[in-house]
Amino acid sequence: MRRTALTLVIIGALNWLLVGLFQWDLVAALFGGDAHRVSSGLSRIIYTLVGLAGLYCIALLFRDDDRARAQ
């Protein structure tokens, strides 16, 4: 679950980087929709999954991971 969430967060971050630098929306380009407006149902699902993954990753910031301390 953590790797999936982290992967989605990275995809979301890269997408926002592309939007910020080039005004080009990778998710909309891949799954349909307009770069300035989310019109595709599949794009909305992708954005929602990325958002949920981001919320999940917030918990990882505060997680006490014994494996990390052992290294």
In a domain, 71, yes or no: no
Q: Tell me whether residue 50 is in a domain.
A: yes
Domain-located, residue 22? yes
Q: Which two tokens stand for residue 23?
A: 């005004």
46, part of any domain: yes
Q: How many structural domains are present in the chain?
A: 1
Could you tell me the residue range of the domain that residue 48 belongs to? 2-65
Residue 40 lies in a domain: yes
Examine residue 70 and state whether it is found in any structural domain, yes or no.
Answer: no
The pLDDT tens digits of the residues spanning 20-69 come to 788 788 878 887 766 555 556 776 777 778 778 777 887 877 777 655 55
Q: How far, CA to CA in Å, does 49 sit from each of 12, 26, 39, 71?
A: 9, 15, 16, 32
pTM above 0.75, yes or no: no
